[in-house]
Amino acid sequence: MTRELPMDFTGGYCIPIDHNVEKNHPDCTWPRKPLALSSIMAIIHTPKHSKDSGQMKEHFASIISAIGEDLTRPGLADTPERAAKAFEFLTRGYQQKLDDVVNDALFPSDSNEMIIVKDIELYSMCEHHMLPFIGRAHVAYIPTGKVLGLSKVARIVDMFARRLQIQEQLTLQIAETVKSVTGAEGVGVIVEAKHMCMMMRGVEKQNSVMKTSAMLGSFRDDPATRTEFLSLVR
């Protein structure tokens, strides 16, 4: 008979954990150690970005020509320019700074109860195949004296989603950023998405959904807090 193991919802992964393996695998203990500050800063860092529409237009033209299409036909004549503009939009997160996104929208609050923003739509680009993945994020935190403006949670999700990404990293970026900005007691993030790189190519599975999570602070350390969050976003 197969024994169902509890799930580890930390660090952007959903991994079955068997606590009996601690003797041989001490790194598998619950809760896991929080990341070092240097690791956190690397996760939420915005790379230097200098957009070059002209260069992107040339490269898109080269790609279209390389597949054997005729760039002079009416339907494709303006496609390189349109594609370059679209790609700028899809990756505009590289041009955003966290300070501008948050815009000082932190407000004093006596609340110490869980705040959840559910079903935040997100659109991102897989960094492996540069194909879209589309889904939603659920973000929760427990404030310690200040709360973040409601729309800013969604804007933080967008800032990181609009970059070349993998879902595991995106989940952790959102969580670490919300914790850094708010000084929250704890943060929980769940992202669920469908990946075109798995649907349109390769294994071609149309109904698969990837779910990732990151639990920080009290969401990591306190089972009751974690359970409350998971029950509210189901």
Binding residue ranges for Zn(2+): 126, 129, 197
CA–CA–CA angle 215, 217, 221 (5° rounding)? 80
**What long-range pairs does 116-121 form, CB within 8 A, spacing at least 24?**
116/140, 116/229, 116/232, 116/233, 117/150, 117/153, 117/154, 118/232, 118/233, 120/153, 120/154, 120/157
Contact 194, 135 (CB under 8 A): yes
CA–CA–CA angle 52, 157, 165 (5° rounding)? 55
Active site residue 138: no
Active site residue 127: yes
Among candidate residues 28, 95, 129, 228, the one labeled active-site is 129
Active site residue 45: no
Active site residue 126: yes
Active site residue 19: no
Contact 229, 140 (CB under 8 A): yes
Among candidate residues 96, 167, 173, 185, the one labeled active-site is 167
Contact 136, 154 (CB under 8 A): no
Active site residue 58: no
The pair of structure tokens assigned to 106 is: 């932190």
Annotated binding-site residue numbers = 126, 129, 197
Residue in the block written with tokens 């807090």 = 225
Active site residue 22: no
Residues taking part in catalysis = 126-129, 167, 195, 197
